[in-house]
Amino acid sequence: MKVSASFLSSHNIPNDLIRLDHTDLDFIHVDVMDGKFVSNKTLPFREMRHISDYTSKRLDVHLMVANPSKYIPLYAELNCEYITFHVEVLENIEEDLKLIHDYSIKCGLAIKPDTKVSSLIPYLPYLDLILVMSVEPGEGGQEFISSSKDKIREVRDLIDSYHLNILINVDGGVNDKTISMCRDSDMVVAGSYIIRGDDFQEKISSLR
């Protein structure tokens, strides 16, 4: 199981990024919110761009924004492994996925808890990753929605039915108790569970 850590709940981002850099964490999960697609807003890019001053870990960027094409060129400047945006934006999805690939970055689509898995089908040929939201996007510290276990399985069955090599990532309420419901995924995002712990490495290891 790959692990990506979100610093959304951090009270000292530079310090926590440095601490995460000294673990065997796979990725830093970067939540980007515009106050439109979701009600909350995150730090502006002029501040986010300094993430790699504090960590050499590759970034897993999650765009919770109404207009991904505005943000993709900005975050493509950083040390990104993945850039993911939401299938619920509905417009220009194929074009934005191609734009991410144009920067030689892997692309993903995220899906909210109430969105049908079938909405992903038209875009499967372009995807490297599918992000299953196990909470409503836009706010850290929420509890894992238990029905997400079935959704993860449904996404896995969909990928297998098309014989595609697409990673499944799960984001929201992931901890040592809920990780058992994520076993059909390849990767998980954990925020509060890691960041609010004393020993980051211990928390990361408990999810593998």
Q: What percent of the chain has pLDDT over 70?
A: 100
CATH architecture of residue range(s) 2-207: Alpha-Beta Barrel (3.20)
Choose the catalytic residue: 26, 31, 96, 128. 31
Q: Could you give the dihedral angle defined by the CA atoms of residues 16, 18, 20 and 22, in that order, rounded to the nearest 10 degrees? A: -150
Cβ-Cβ contacts under 8 Å for 20 (sequence gap 6 or more): 5, 7, 28, 55, 57, 194, 200
135 within 8 A of 142, measured Cβ to Cβ: yes
160 annotated active-site? no
41 within 8 A of 8, measured Cβ to Cβ: no
168 within 8 A of 130, measured Cβ to Cβ: yes
User: Domain extents for the chain?
Assistant: 2-207
Per-residue b/e over 67-102, b at no fewer than 16 CB within 10 Å? bbbebbeebbebebbbbbbbbbbeeebeebbebbee
171 annotated active-site? yes
CA 45 – CA 78 distance, rounded (Å): 11
Q: Is the pLDDT of residue 130 over 90?
A: yes
Structure tokens of 146? 């238990």
Choose the catalytic residue: 16, 60, 128, 171. 171
pLDDT in tens, 141-200: 789 999 999 999 999 999 999 999 999 999 999 999 999 999 999 999 999 999 999 999
User: Which helix H or strand E contains 28, and what residues bound it?
Assistant: strand 27-33
